[in-house]
A and B are shown apart, each in its own frame.
Chain A
Amino acid sequence: AQSVTQLDSHVSVSEGTPVLLRCNYSSSYSPSLFWYVQHPNKGLQLLLKYTSAATLVKGINGFEAEFKKSETSFHLTKPSAHMSDAAEYFCVVSAGYGQNFVFGPGTRLSVLP
């Protein structure tokens, strides 16, 4: 079975400062990992995905994440936060072929001016 822990329910940063959203996963198989973002009243949008290629994954809007198997982590980072980054972020694990997505509880990112 798969599970996801997002260590912070809410993260607040100032505009222009780095962002770190933490995610730990549990999976019986070699997992596929994803980060999705959900803006208010908008659908879920894929930021980036890891599917057993390079461990450092670059996504859209300057986000990136590093897969660390030894730590079972997949933390999301961005060097400089922008006001438009304020949203809910979900870490997702999938066991692969034909397997459903398991979502974490989400981290709400606030960006202060």
Chain B
Amino acid sequence: DAGVTQSPTHLIKTRGQQVTLRCSPKSGHDTVSWYQQALGQGPQFIFQYYEEEERQRGNFPDRFSGHQFPNYSSELNVNALLLGDSALYLCASSMLTLAGDYNEQFFGPGTRLTVL
């Protein structure tokens, strides 16, 4: 089992550009969450996808959007990049337990985005 994988590893963009980050969940997981981790801070929740729908969303502007595919993989898109979008973007996958709870999230290594 490859675990959660993310691509690319690193990315450099300029202000105003658009970026797409990709995530493949752990085998058997049906839910993908995205987090932004700025330097020296804890990860901040962006949104969560389940059954190809956005289930929850954190306090992020509409410039941040996503998608989940039928194979449960996911993309994070950021439009009109700002300098402040520079961060490590983490993808996490999970699955519903019999209790109806998301018992644990497994994280990928992240994509380091630098906006110049």
- Chain A residues near B (Cβ < 8 Å): 4, 32, 34, 36, 42-46, 49, 51, 90, 94, 96-106
- Residues in B whose Cβ lies below 8 Å from that of A90: 42-43
A-B contact count (CB 8 A): 59
- What is the interface of chain B, defined by CB distance below 8 A to chain A? 4, 33, 35, 40-45, 48, 50, 55-56, 58, 90, 92, 100-110
Asked if B103 and A42 sit within 8 Å, CB to CB, the answer is no
Report B-chain residues with C-beta under 8 Å of the C-beta of A44. 43, 90, 92, 107
A89 to chain B, nearest CB (A): 10
Chain A residues with CB under 8 A of B40: 106
**Distance in Å: Cβ of A93 to nearest Cβ of chain B:** 11
Partner of B104, one of A43, A49, A97, A100: A49
Which residue of the partner chain B has the closest CB to A9? Answer: B40
The CA of A42 and the CA of B92, in the complex, are separated in Å by 14
Known: A51-B101, A96-B101. A43 touches B42 (CB 8 A): no
- Give Cα A36 to B105, complex, Å: 10
Q: Which residues of B contact A105 (CB under 8 A)?
A: 41-42
- Given A46-B104, A49-B104, A101 and B45 touching (CB < 8 A)? yes
Nearest-neighbour CB distance to chain B for A100, whole angstroms, equals 4
A90 to B107, CA, bound (A): 13
